[in-house]
Amino acid sequence: MILSRLSIVNFKNIAQADLSFSPNINCFLSNNGMGKSNLLDAIYYLSFCKSYTRNPDSQNIRHGEDFFVVQGYYERNGNEEELYCGIKRRQKKAFKRNKKEYDRLSDHIGFAPLVMAAPSDNELILGGSEERRKFIDLVISQFDKQYLSTLIRYNKALEQRNALLRQECSEEMLYDIWEEQMDSTAAQIHNSRDRFLQSFIPVFRRFYNEISSQNESADLIYKSHLSEGALLPQLKANRHRDLILGYTSRGIHRDDMDMMLGEYPMKRIGSQGQCKTYLIALKLAQYDFLREQGDTAPILLLDDIFDKLDAERVKQIVKLVSSDHFGQIFITDTNRKYLDEIIHFIGSQYNIFSVDRGEVKILEGKTP
């Protein structure tokens, strides 16, 4: 998957930009707060129909304006593709592929596979279990359409059961209806997550070992109520307790991953550099997995990834992302040192852009 051109109007602090990209590496250079991360977020929008920062759509419209538009022109397996996202205040989001609007935004997920690493990823380690479930769901949804639709059905049934609990409903038949639907969909979701993690975890360990030069070991451990058995008996057994709590306490919506450094939780003992190493290894493993599962190489977005890392870990990351394994890369930083090292290692086409208060200019580039 190659993004050849990007057009932006009124997105965050970017009033207007029309940029052409290298099929290999594209670097954005600026001080913090100038808008380089916003450029990556615009690219992310075109893959996932939403912002990486999870802001409501209206908050991504440039201050003082009524709309934003992001358009991307891609090359995908020899075909030219155009993706369009347009948002006006107080109106429905318009998302189109080749000028045809999607009936459901979920139908688009996976068409333009993408992996992004950013400073906010720290919430994967420090945040609640919801952050880690979203990571799993995002990866699987990009290559398995059935998974996403099953997850949507489970969540709708969960919402209905929770509504009954909040209303203190005593009609057992109503609970039975939604619990049976939760049970059937939960089994499918759990099986998909388990299969994914069995393949994913060894790849993650390998990337962590390479970046850390095998100075420490890291691991992921999947935790799910369904590892104790089918969900339906658990829901029935806990119905009275859930009525007191006012929510459903058992199910795949409570799944989690223990992120470990040696025998201890990463969030408890990991240094800033170790946490950063862990997160980058997760994202590179995500890229590797999607490349193997899909029919096109994902786009890789790396936002300010070198902060908090020692020189040796930076060297290992530069070596990894400079390999032929990775396709088109977009990377931001506040100085050129590491960007120049990556360009030197790759030795192929590149573009370097400067970003200043939302204005983007090309500094230099190398073409065939």
Q: Tell whether the model's pLDDT for residue 348 goes beyond 80.
A: no
d(CA 57, CA 68) in angstroms, rounded, equals: 9
Element (H, E) at 245: helix 239-245
d(CA 339, CA 28) in angstroms, rounded, equals: 9
Nearest to 282 by CA among 93, 134, 149: 134
Count Cβ atoms below 10 Å from residue 69 Cβ, excluding itself. 16
Higher pLDDT, 125 or 345: 125
CB 352 within 8 A of CB 29: yes
pLDDT of residue 70: 97
DSSP 3-state of 228: helix
- Residues 90-123: tens digit of each pLDDT: 888 999 999 999 988 989 999 999 999 999 999 9
Nearest to 149 by CA among 91, 117, 114, 189: 189
Q: What is the mean pLDDT of residues 48-76?
A: 93
DSSP 3-state of 28: strand
DSSP state of 203: H
- Residues 167-176: tens digit of each pLDDT: 999 999 999 9
pLDDT of residue 234: 98
- Residues 128-140: tens digit of each pLDDT: 999 999 999 999 9
pLDDT confidence band for 3 (50 / 70 / 90): very high
Average pLDDT, the chain: 92
What is the Cα gyration radius of the chain? 22
CA distances from 288 to 117, 141, 207, 291 (A): 14, 15, 10, 5
d(CA 142, CA 60) in angstroms, rounded, equals: 24
Q: Tell whether the model's pLDDT for residue 288 goes beyond 70.
A: yes
Count Cβ atoms below 10 Å from residue 264 Cβ, excluding itself. 10
DSSP 3-state of 363: strand
Element (H, E) at 87: strand 79-88
- Residues 179-191: tens digit of each pLDDT: 999 999 999 999 9
Q: Tell whether the model's pLDDT for residue 268 goes beyond 90.
A: yes
d(CA 126, CA 147) in angstroms, rounded, equals: 27
Vertex 159: Cα angle to 155 and 161 (nearest 5): 115
Element (H, E) at 302: strand 299-303
CA distances from 75 to 98, 112, 307, 350 (A): 12, 10, 32, 17
How far does CA 259 lie from the centroid of its chain?
17
DSSP state of 297: P
Q: Is 83 left (phi over 0), alpha (psi -120 to 50) or beta?
A: beta
Nearest to 22 by CA among 349, 356, 352, 363: 349
pLDDT of residue 365: 80
DSSP 3-state of 34: coil
pLDDT of residue 309: 86
pLDDT of residue 14: 95
* Weakest-pLDDT range from 227-231, 248-252, 318-322: 318-322
Structure tokens that stand for 128 in this block: 């609640």
pLDDT of residue 33: 81
In the block, tokens 């997105």 appear at 11
pLDDT of residue 368: 60
pLDDT of residue 305: 87
Nearest to 24 by CA among 359, 367, 354, 336: 367
CA distances from 187 to 107, 130, 135 (A): 23, 19, 19
